[in-house]
Amino acid sequence: MGIRHDQIKTLIGEKENITIFEIGCADGRDTRTFLNTFGDNLKLYTFDPDPVNIKALSELGATNCLGESNDDIVNDPRNIFHPYAMCDEDKTITFNRSRDIGYPDKGEGVGRYSGSIHQAVDQASMYPGILFDQTVEAQGRSFDSFCKENSIDHVDFIWMDTQGAEREVLSGMKESFANIDWIYTEYYNQEMYKEQIYLPGIIEMLSEHFDLIATFPFLDQDGGDALFKNKRIP
């Protein structure tokens, strides 16, 4: 089990304005929990490039993989959704889509959780029931350029679920490290995606500005989630 959203609220503390980035928001299930946990002072920037997830986060009448309406998320002005694949620089990128054939219509129309800018490795054994047989061209954006464009000079918390793209996302964030309080990212220590980075590499990339505070291991794979705190925070 990973960190809870109410625990994230406690880490951030009481502030006049709170800015959170959810990079890899899928079909909005965690997005809803963020919106329900925080108050009107929240700005939640959410990102996902998969067409099914874009629809779930931007169109009225869309649902998540559980069949729950996402109208509350789409209508919530605190949620600022962008259909970008966050990476190391602004560019057009090939995004490898996932679909779970255990869902109706073999997962064509439900939320997709495992897509990546990298190709999956040994998908038959590593991802039983999930296919990576589709790609889509997506707009890649770096965190740094997005923040400059939108005049964002401080981020309280980053939630990253980027499926093996941690190196690229963090590379595109380097100019902003000093302005980020907390980073919470998924990691793997087994090769799930080609050219992925492992936890020691993530620690090294962040070591100048961040300390590793905790890990939350998965039960079924060699990986989990890792929480980093900016060194300037007491």
pLDDT at residue 47 in the model: 98
Average confidence (pLDDT) over 176-184: 98
Contact 191, 221 (CB under 8 A): no
What percent of the chain has a predicted confidence (pLDDT) above 70? 99
User: For residue 155, what is the domain's CATH number?
Assistant: 3.40.50.150
Which has the minimum average pLDDT: 122-126, 183-187, 212-216? 122-126
The answer, yes or no, to whether residue 43 has pLDDT greater than 80, is yes
Domain span holding position 166? 5-230
Range name among 5-9, 29-33, 63-67, 110-114 with the lowest pLDDT average:
110-114
Average pLDDT, whole number, for the chain? 95
Span 116-145, average pLDDT: 91
The answer to whether the predicted template modeling score (pTM) of the entire model surpasses 0.75 is yes
Stretch among 162-166, 180-184, 221-225, 228-232 having the lowest mean pLDDT: 221-225
Confidence of residue 219 (pLDDT cuts 50, 70, 90): confident
- Of 13, 16, 19, 57, nearest to 156 by C-alpha is 19
User: Considering its fold, how many domains does the chain have in total?
Assistant: 1
Which segment of 43-47, 123-127, 163-167 scores lowest on mean pLDDT? Answer: 123-127
pLDDT of residue 124: 64
Give me the DSSP letters along 63-106: B-TTS-B-HHHHH-TTEEEE-EEEESSSEEEEEEEEEETTSGGG
CA distance to 5, 118, 189, 198, per residue, from 201 (Å): 26, 17, 10, 5
Is the pLDDT confidence value at 128 over 90?
no
